[in-house]
Amino acid sequence: MSEHPLITKYREFSPSSGELGERARTVFPGGDTRSSAHYGPYPLVMDEASGCRLRDIDGNEVLDFMNNFTSLIHGHAQPDVVAAVQNQVAKGSAYAAPNTDQIELAELIVDRVPSIEQLRFTSSGTEGTLMAIRCARAATGRQKIMKMEGGYHGSYELAEVSLVPFPGRRGDLDAPASTAVDGSFPDSVLGDTVVCPYNEPALANALIDAHAQELAAVIVEPVLGSMGMIPADKEFLTTLREATARHGIVLIFDEVITLRLSEGGAQKNYGVTPDLTCMGKIIGGGLPVGGVGGDKALMQLFSPDQKSPVMHASTFSGNALTMAAGRAAMLAYTAVEAKRLNTMGEKLREGFNQAFAQTGLRARALGSGSLTNLHFTTDEIHDSRDAFTGMVAAGELTNLLHLTMIRHGVISATRLMYCTSTAMTDTEIDTAVTALHESLAELRPYIEADWPTLLAS
């Protein structure tokens, strides 16, 4: 089969990245060391970045709407963060001991996030959700957890159960099946996980009541991230809060992505307070980070003063370099900047949706605040099953749009996730909308030939 013409154009646009991509395949399986950041035929190899712009090794400059999967709240090389890191690295990167920035960053988070009275830093968001689950099990003496269908909480089996709602495997909506995303899952993990449909308060309430005596925790993202930035309905989160409180189950909010939605995270916007909150991404200022925080009584289970504390030993947790970067980044992320970021996100979605409407394409931009994702459907997107239907309908079109947008100067996550950074202004939003108009015009003949059902009649 011959290569698609738009993929050929991408190769012509980025020949040096193509050459390095082949070289990378000799040392990395598939040519990359991070699955989520990989895309075909090969990803751009970046050389430098500043503000909201990336430059690849061919000299192409692109606007960065990926921001390392939402973690770079201020874009690249923000001056306060750079200064903090430069100052700290000259004094040492990791002490295996407390430091002032570590304490001050924690105080800032405690002051801002409603649910957090105490916290512990981890080396990644993955580790943060893992420790939250272990804390819940220690607190309740129960084994199982409930997670949402389509929810992603990190790179370990329990966090990825039923990540993709494949038809024929996913079960009925009122009792979704626990399914593996790949061949590495032991049956025990599937047995320890109760899967709940997203944004279905009545079904969630019934499932929690049915499994209450086995459930240590319910973990949920206030915005379902990897399945397309689907915001939770407030009634859904309120129902989870009430049902878990009724049965003494620990409610965990995974705010690794959504902490950016206000100074106090999505929970402050929704007015729903969980028992534990998982963090990551923006609190590290662009360096590896994670965290878990919440009710003091729960967090005391980690205390070394306890007779048998929950074990948490992580070499780079709270390291001096990350704490310096994170403190600088979070001090710069004010309520005013959060509002500006969210307003730009809303403008981006409006512009994208106008582009889709003018092209006559059955597609839409969905999201919350500064978080946006494109979907190839105009139907309501209520949960991961709705989102997956659009993904299947689009097929290779998703990758073609992603590559075409790159050639038009805008890069996003491969799954067409976009997020704004404080390095942006309305000018960058307008540029991205123009790029989508131009990309859709270029794609139109191929859509007519290969995806006619995605065109409005």
Name the residues annotated as catalytic: 152, 254, 281
Residue 450 to residue 457: CA distance in whole angstroms: 15
Strand 250-254 versus strand 276-280 pairing type: parallel
Beta-strand relationship, 410-411 and 61-64: parallel
Contact 310, 216 (CB under 8 A): no
- Here the tokens at position 367 are 């999201």
Location of structure tokens 């084994």 = 143
Using CA atoms, how far apart are residues 4 and 7, in angstroms rounded to an integer?
5
Cβ atoms 356, 363 nearer than 8 A: yes
